[in-house]
Amino acid sequence: MFPAEVYIKKLFFNAVGLIALWLPLLSSAVSAEKATVSIRNDVVPQLLVITSIKPLALIAQAALGNSINVEFLQSANQSAHDLTLTASALDKIHRASLIVLVGDQFEPHVAKVVQDIPGKALLQVLDLFTFDGEVDVYQQRVDPHVWLNPYSANVIGHAIQVALGVPQRDIISDIEIEVLKKTLEPVGTLGYISHHAALGHFADAFNVSAGMPIRDSNGGHKGARSQFLLRKAAYDGGAQCVFVEPQYADKDALVIAGELNLPLRTIDPQGIDAPLTENGYAQFVQSLVVQFQACFG
Ligand SMILES: [Zn+2]
């Protein structure tokens, strides 16, 4: 999925970035020592990592531990797909030591702002992978929900650790992932309808069906013919529920669930309720698995 040479190139790039990142901190530490004791502690710059969306903040916090400050730009009622920048978001970007984005294809406005600030350390997580199977068939573009595959989340976590010079360790262990895989084994072949094409990476990691999405992987509407085919596929393929997401008040899902007489279930691929802690990413994936299972209960 990610050729070693690309990853190593990235690591090298990040290692160079890391040195650049620490230089201002080191030099201010030196000047603080030379200065008198009247220097206040609160002017010593503190590392701040800013991510575009909540799931990347879960990964960053788990990768860096509780002592490093991690914040994200997405607000609770904002979808990851239409992130807009408020004044306070711009301020956060300016204060950040490292900015982590999904990628400039996914967050073009944010990427543009960050790239226009000279010397800002930026990590775009889609650059860490090469995708072949995970292209959204409706849009012919990469499915951006890469954080839903815990193996990929570990790769992202490692890249963040390298960027900040923190020792590398996994944010979710292989054993934890194996346990969750086993939990989902009985429902692996069962069908469902999802709000949008968000669960492809999750399906890859856990050997379950990627489902039948009402909308494309960017949250956009599909045409009438696709809607008709979806209803037919859901009927033929024995969909067991319709997933809705907290960020979208979606009438389409309600209508389709009504027509096909299927229960509605909530799934939150953005982990809005998950805590930003060292164990937060693992907890997020665990609750995602529970939410997924509830479709077939
Ligand atoms: Zn999405």
Ligand 1 centroid to residue 60 C-alpha, Å = 19
Beta 135-136 vs 141-142: how paired, if at all?
antiparallel
Token pair in block for residue 269: 């691929």
Q: Give pLDDT tens digits for 70-102.
A: 999 988 777 788 888 889 999 999 999 999 999
Could you read off the pLDDT of 5-14 as tens digits, one per residue?
444 444 444 4
Please tell me the distance between residue 249's alpha carbon and the centre of ligand 1 in angstroms.
Answer: 14
- The CATH superfamily assigned to 181-296 is Nitrogenase molybdenum iron protein domain (3.40.50.1980)
| Burial track 6-44 (b if 16+ CB lie within 10 A, e otherwise) | ebeebbeebeebbeebeeeeeeeeeeeeeeeeeeeeeee
- Say what the pTM is: 0.83
Q: What confidence tens digit (pLDDT) does each residue in 240-252 have? A: 999 999 887 778 8
CA of 198 to the centre of ligand 1 (A): 5
Q: How many angstroms is it from 239 CA to the middle of ligand 1?
A: 20
Cα separation of 186 and 268, whole Å? 22
Instruction: For residue range 150-162, list pLDDT tens digits in order.
Output: 999 999 999 999 9
* 100 close to 50: Cβ distance less than 8 angstroms: yes
Average pLDDT of the segment spanning 45-51: 89
Tell me how far the alpha carbon of residue 217 lies from the centroid of ligand 1, in angstroms: 6
139 against 129, higher pLDDT = 129
Cα–ligand 1 centroid distance for 62 (angstroms):
21
Question: Ligand 1: distance of its center to the CA of 218 in Å?
Answer: 6
Residue 15 neighbours by CB under 8 Å, 6+ apart:
162
**How far does residue 253's CA lie from ligand 1's centre (Å)?**
15
The four Cα atoms 151, 155, 160, 162 give a dihedral, to 10 degrees, of 140
Helices 150-164 and 54-64 sit at what angle, rounded to 10 degrees? 60
Distance 40 CA to ligand 1 centre (A): 44
- The rounded Å distance from CA 24 to ligand 1 centre is 37
Whether residue 78 contacts residue 247, with contact meaning beta carbons closer than 8 Å, is answered with yes
Residues whose CB falls within 8 Å of the CB of residue 159, separated by 6 or more in sequence, listed in order: 10, 11, 14, 123, 125, 128
CA of 126 to the centre of ligand 1 (A): 14
- Cα–Cα distances (Å) from 54 to 61, 152, 156, 277, in that order, read 10, 16, 14, 12
How many Å lie between the centroid of ligand 1 and the Cα of residue 77?
Answer: 13
% residues pLDDT > 70 (the chain): 81
HSE on the CB side for 130, CA within 13 Å? 8
Say if 4-164 and 181-296 have the same CATH topology: yes
Distance, CA of 234 to chain centre: 28
Ligand 1 geometric centre to CA of 246 (Å): 12
Q: Is the pLDDT of residue 43 over 70?
A: no
pLDDT of residue 275: 95
Residue 49: enclosing H or E segment and its boundaries? Answer: strand 48-51
User: pLDDT-derived band of residue 39, with 50, 70 and 90 as boundaries?
Assistant: very low
Quote the tokens at residue 130: 């090469």
- What residues pair up with 269 in beta bridges, in sequence order? none
**Which residue from 172, 169, 166 is spatially nearest to 147, judged by alpha carbons?**
172
Gap from CA of 175 to ligand 1 centroid (Å): 27
Give CA torsion, residues 156, 159, 161, 165, to 10 deg: -170
CATH superfamily of 4-164: Nitrogenase molybdenum iron protein domain (3.40.50.1980)
Cα of 36 to ligand 1 centre, how many Å?
52
Domain ranges for the chain, please list them.
4-164, 181-296
Mean pLDDT of the chain, nearest integer = 83
Query: 216: CA distance to ligand 1 center in Å?
Result: 9
